[in-house]
Amino acid sequence: MTTTDSMPLVVPDFGDQASEGRKLAIICSKGNLDMAYPGLILANAALGEGVETHLFFTFWGFDMITKSRMSDLKFTMLGNTATHLPQGLGGLPGMTAMATHQLKKQINDIGVPDVPEFLEQIVASGGHLWACRMSADMMQLDEADLHEEVEGIISATDFIEKTEGAQLLFI
Amino acid sequence: MTVVNLADAQIHVDSEGFLTEYSEWTEALAVQLAAQIGIQLTDEHWKVLRFLRSDYPAHGETATLRRVSTLAGVPVKQLFTLFPGKPAKKMAYVAGLPKPRGCV
């Protein structure tokens, strides 16, 4: 058969039924700028594929949804050999600020939003944001201190219950 | 590559059914493509589709949801309403473009 023959129409299978009932739970436990993005990007990707997605922010990950801190997450070279620079450099005054500035610029340059805006996009895509009860108690924070889109402060047990049957990512 | 007939035109599609030739797309074809996946095009759909079509040649790849929302001014939430389930892929399909390859 040659390519000029006309074939029956092929319609993409968008798997609308297949993704129904599929759930993803992402636990965000880190407050470094570079560790905030994997969870956000994967949540965004899952939502774009029609997967019900829940994020749980706990311990240092609480910074990602805390109004006073979420725009000011930092990236440090210290303890991160993947920068391939001498570790001693990372400890010099101003290096964390410089590294953070550089990473933020690189993220912005490829059209990826900052953390607060990314959270908004996730919620607009149908995602659910949950804050960890124990972290809130430890840090003495309540709903008023958190991103408006956070649905509630819930216990780890509540989160496990809400995400029954979900695939889980711990970051 | 496969050639199929749709809306009185012969079009080239890949194995999944996405158009492979930018120039073969027409607005009449878009109506048919949308119908194949159960979407009836409204003015809001057209705003998105026209943006995708005009953005592709300049940008070199299909716009992601984020790019459509920031540059065409159609909120992400609305994109999920217009093209339910997998909006980025469905938009690309109706616009006769490849699936977006960007992550965000």
Contact yes or no for A9 and B6 at CB 8 A: yes
Residues of chain B with C-beta less than 8 angstroms from the C-beta of A48? 65, 86-88
Residue B103: active-site member = yes
In the predicted model, is pLDDT for residue B74 greater than 70?
Answer: yes
Nearest residue to A55 via CA among A117, A146, A136, A130: A130
Domain ranges of chain B: 2-94
- pLDDT tens-digit readout, A19-28: 678 999 999 9
Return the SS3 of A153: strand
- A159 membership: H or E segment, kind and range: helix A156-162
- pLDDT tens-digit readout, A104-124: 999 999 989 999 999 999 999
**Stretch A9-38: mean pLDDT:** 89
* B22–chain A nearest CA distance, Å: 17
Contact yes or no for B16 and A13 at CB 8 A: yes
Beta bridge partners of A27: A56, A170
Confidence of residue B28 (pLDDT cuts 50, 70, 90): very high
Q: Give the ipTM of the model, two decimals please.
A: 0.88
Q: Where in chain B does DSSP place strands (E)?
A: 2-6, 9-13
- pLDDT tens-digit readout, B31-40: 999 999 999 9
Contact yes or no for A112 and B66 at CB 8 A: yes
Q: How far apart are CA B64 and CA B11, in angstroms?
A: 24
Residues of chain B with C-beta less than 8 angstroms from the C-beta of A45? 103
Q: What is the pLDDT of residue A106?
A: 95
In the predicted model, is pLDDT for residue B2 greater than 70?
Answer: yes
Contact yes or no for B93 and A5 at CB 8 A: no
Which own/partner contact pairs does B15-19 have at CB distance under 8 Å and 24+ positions apart? Answer: B15/A10, B16/A10, B16/A12, B16/A13, B17/A9, B17/A10, B17/A11, B17/A12, B17/B93, B18/A12, B18/B92, B18/B93, B18/B96, B18/B97, B18/B98, B18/B99, B19/B96, B19/B97
- pLDDT tens-digit readout, B86-100: 999 999 999 999 999
Confidence of residue A5 (pLDDT cuts 50, 70, 90): low
Global confidence as pTM: 0.89
In the predicted model, is pLDDT for residue B19 greater than 70?
Answer: yes
Q: What is the pLDDT of residue B88?
A: 95
Q: What is the pLDDT of residue B104?
A: 86
Domains belonging to chain A, first-starting first, are 23-78+87-170 (3.40.1260.10)
In the predicted model, is pLDDT for residue A62 greater than 80?
Answer: yes
* A58–chain B nearest CA distance, Å: 24
* A129–chain B nearest CA distance, Å: 16
In the predicted model, is pLDDT for residue A1 greater than 70?
Answer: no
- Which residue in the set A15, A50, A111 is minimally distant from B66, CB to CB? A111
**Interface membership of A112 toward B (CB under 8 Å):** yes
From the candidates B3, B58, B103, B104, which is the catalytic residue?
B103
**Stretch B21-32: mean pLDDT:** 93
* B86–chain A nearest CA distance, Å: 5
**Stretch A116-145: mean pLDDT:** 96
**Stretch A60-67: mean pLDDT:** 97
In the predicted model, is pLDDT for residue B6 greater than 90?
Answer: no
In the predicted model, is pLDDT for residue B42 greater than 90?
Answer: yes
Q: Which of A82-86, A101-105, B2-6 has the highest mean pLDDT?
A: A101-105
The set of residues, in sequence order, having a beta carbon less than 8 Å from that of A159 and lying 6+ positions away, is: A25, A27, A54, A56, A130, A132
In the predicted model, is pLDDT for residue B53 greater than 80?
Answer: yes
Q: What is the pLDDT of residue A2?
A: 43
CB pairs under 8 A between A and B: 82
Q: How far apart are CA A161 and CA B79, in angstroms?
A: 30
* Nearest chain A residue (CA) to B3: A6
What's the mean per-residue pLDDT of chain A?
92
* Nearest chain A residue (CA) to B36: A11
